[in-house]
Amino acid sequence: MPQMPALTIGDKTARLPIIQGGMAVRISMAPLAGAVARAGGIGLIAGSGLEPDEMRNEVRAAHALAAGGVVGVNIMVAIRKFKETVHAALEGGTNLLVCGAGFSRDVFQWAADAGVPVVPIVGSARVATLSQRFGAAAVIVEGVEAGGHLGTDRTMLDLLPEIVEAVDIPVIGAGGVVTGADIRRTLDAGAAGVQMGSRFAATAESSAPEAFKQMYVDATDDDIVIVRSPVGLPGRAIRNPFSQKMADGELAPIGRCISCLKKCGKEYCIMERLKMAQAGDVEDGLVFAGSAAARVHDIPTVAELMDRLVGEFAASGEGSEDA
C-alpha cells in the first residue's frame, strides 16, 4: 500500500482516509472542516455548544470552502438539543452525521429520511454490532488515547481488531494518530481510515486561540491528564490551574445553568469551561487534548499537514513487501 487509499462511507468518498474529529466547543468550525475537506479528507464541525441556527450556517460555510469535499458534523447524543441540532445540520447539507457520547436509535431514521450516512463513535464490539444493525454506514473506534470524553480504558489498536471482526462496515480508528506512519499502522490493523483530533486542533485553520495551540506545542506526556466531566465520563485534557483545582477538590459550586446536557453531574459547568478555553483563558478553562498532543510540535496549515501525512505514509511503507 504505497499510497493512502480513499475512504468511502455510504455514498460519500474522500480521496484520503482521514477524518478530522469534531472538537467542541468551537474548535472545529467551518474554517477547519472546510480546509480538511478541500485537502481530500473529511472535515467535521462539532455541534456541542452551537445553537441549531449556528450549526446550519457553519455547515453551509464549510461547504463553501470545501471545493466539493466531504463535510460532516459531530453531535453528542448527550446534549439536550440533540434532535434540533441534527435537523439543523441536515438542513445545512451535512454529508455525514457522527454521533458520540451515547447511542441514539432515532438518529438513524432522521438521517435515512435525508439520505445521510450515520457514523457512531463506539468503544466496544457490542455497540459496533448494534450500530450496524440500526443502519450505521461506518463506526469510529475511539481508544483511551483520545482527547475529550473517553468511553473506554483500552487503546485504539487493542480494540480495533475485534471490532473489525464484528462488523462488515468500514471501521475508523481514533486516538493517538499524529503521523503518516500512525495512519499506516492503523490501516494495517484493519481500519478503513483514521480520525484525528489533537493534530488538527493545532493547525492554522483550527478555531482554538493561539494560547491553546501553543499549549499543545509545549505539552509533554506529563502535562496530559485525565479529568472528571459532569457528562459522567472521564475526559483527557492538558494540565492547568483549572484541572489542578479539580484534582484537589477545590472547585467552586456552579452558578448559572442553561441545562445544555440531558444529564449533568454539576461538579462544574463543562460548557462554561470549554468556552473559556476557546476564548483564550487556558488557565481557568478546560483544554481538552489527546495524549498525542505531546507529539504535536508545530502549527501547520491544513494543506501543509495533509501533504506531510501523505509523504510520511508513503515513506513508512518503503521497503515493506507491498510498497
Ligand X SMILES: Cc1cc2nc3c(=O)[nH]c(=O)nc-3n(C[C@H](O)[C@H](O)[C@H](O)COP(=O)(O)O)c2cc1C
Which residues, 218 to 277, sit near ligand X by CB under 6 A? none
- For ligand X, the closer of residues 16 and 252 by Cβ is 16
- For ligand X, the closer of residues 224 and 250 by Cβ is 224
Shortest reach from residue 26's CB to ligand X, in Å: 10
Interacting residues of 214 by C-beta distance below 8 A, sequence separation 6+: none
Q: Of these, 18, 23, 139, 271, which contacts ligand X (CB under 6 A)?
A: 23
Tell me which stretch binds ligand X (CB under 6 A): 138-146, 158-166, 253-261, 306-314: 138-146
Shortest reach from residue 55's CB to ligand X, in Å: 13
The C-alpha atoms of residue 153 and residue 156 are separated, in whole angstroms, by 10
Tell me which stretch binds ligand X (CB under 6 A): 108-116, 161-169, 248-256, 289-297: 289-297
177 binds ligand X (CB under 6 A): yes
Tell me which stretch binds ligand X (CB under 6 A): 15-23, 51-59, 157-165, 239-247: 15-23
Helix%, strand%, coil% for the chain, nearest 5: 40, 20, 45
Tell me which stretch binds ligand X (CB under 6 A): 35-43, 81-89, 172-180, 250-258: 172-180
Q: Return the residue matching grid coordinates 500512525.
A: 182
- For ligand X, the closer of residues 26 and 56 by Cβ is 26
Binding mask 32-71 toward ligand X (x if CB under 6 A, else -) reads --------------x-x-----------------------
- Closest by alpha carbon to 213, among 277, 274, 149? 277
22 binds ligand X (CB under 6 A): yes
Cell matching residue 73: 458534523
The answer to whether 99 touches 77, Cβ cutoff 8 Å, is yes
163 binds ligand X (CB under 6 A): no
Q: What angle do CA 222, 228, 124 make, to 5 degrees?
A: 90
- For ligand X, the closer of residues 167 and 289 by Cβ is 289
100 binds ligand X (CB under 6 A): yes
Interacting residues of 281 by C-beta distance below 8 A, sequence separation 6+: none
196 binds ligand X (CB under 6 A): yes
Residue 198 burial (CB count, 10 A) = 30
Phi, psi of 237 (to 5 degrees): -150, 175
Beta strands in the chain (DSSP E): 7-9, 12-14, 18-20, 42-46, 70-76, 97-100, 118-122, 139-142, 148-149, 171-174, 193-196, 224-228, 234-238
Interacting residues of 149 by C-beta distance below 8 A, sequence separation 6+: 76, 100, 101, 229, 231, 233, 234, 235
Sign of CA dihedral 212, 206, 116, 176: negative
Angle between helices 106-114 and 82-92 (to 10 degrees): 20
Tell me which stretch binds ligand X (CB under 6 A): 17-25, 63-71, 261-269, 308-316: 17-25
- For ligand X, the closer of residues 116 and 194 by Cβ is 194
Tell me which stretch binds ligand X (CB under 6 A): 32-40, 163-171, 173-181, 185-193: 173-181
Q: Of these, 66, 174, 192, 282, which contacts ligand X (CB under 6 A)?
A: 174
102 binds ligand X (CB under 6 A): no
Shortest reach from residue 321's CB to ligand X, in Å: 29
